[in-house]
Structure 1
Amino acid sequence: MLQLVFVALGGALGALARYWVSNHIVSNARYELPYGTLLCNVLGSFLMGVCFVLVLEKAKLSPEMRPLLMVGFMGAFTTFSTFSLEAVTLLQEGHIMSAAVYVLLSVLLCLLALYAGLWFTRLI
């Protein structure tokens, strides 16, 4: 039961962080690409790599932190469902090149960010 509380707490914090990043950091971008979602996905991927190493490899965080951070927070903060909707919307609006760039950047940058998070955290 306590794990459910951790997931819910992490989810609430992740959703608030996503809202803040999307609305306060990149709200002035005037481009076709949804940079807020892209930034959340890349940053979330990096943080997932960090959490993976700290929780599962180095045991610097207790196993109880896994549901809070990796399921709750990251699940709410990273936005691949929103990413999918935005990519399809771009396609439906005829922005084929923007959709292709968005999908390519999202996948490549998130994979690189996750790898960077793993690499960085293993160094420290």
Structure 2
Amino acid sequence: MPRQMTCPACGEEEELTGERTAEGIAISCDRCGARWPRDTPYTCASCGGRDIRMRGQALTQFSRGTQLSIVGLHYIPLCAECDAEMLARANQQKPVPGRYRSAAAGRGGEDDGQEGLSILPR
């Protein structure tokens, strides 16, 4: 499954570089200079837990006026504790809404304005 790469030191997601080494692939953050092995187990950025599940997140676009269509999926990490409600939804074979920010990836939390999150535009 695809992995969301995020620098553990500064949270950067774009300016990352991978380099093949004898031990595997090492990721470097071009912004802060941090370096870590790619194939480490996921840990939740919010609580530090290791019970992380990868679930599909909807990639959407408006196909006709205000009709929102799911055009694809990508996989995001969900923490069994911090993202419990969204994980329960995903376990019912429903995709994670495209606007949802995972607490496991360090972009979620209680104060992030996700109250009443829905798939429909506002």
TM-score (norm 1): 0.24
Structure with greater helix percent: 1
Give the structure with the larger strand fraction: 2
- Higher RCO (C-alpha under 8 Å, 6+ residues apart): 1
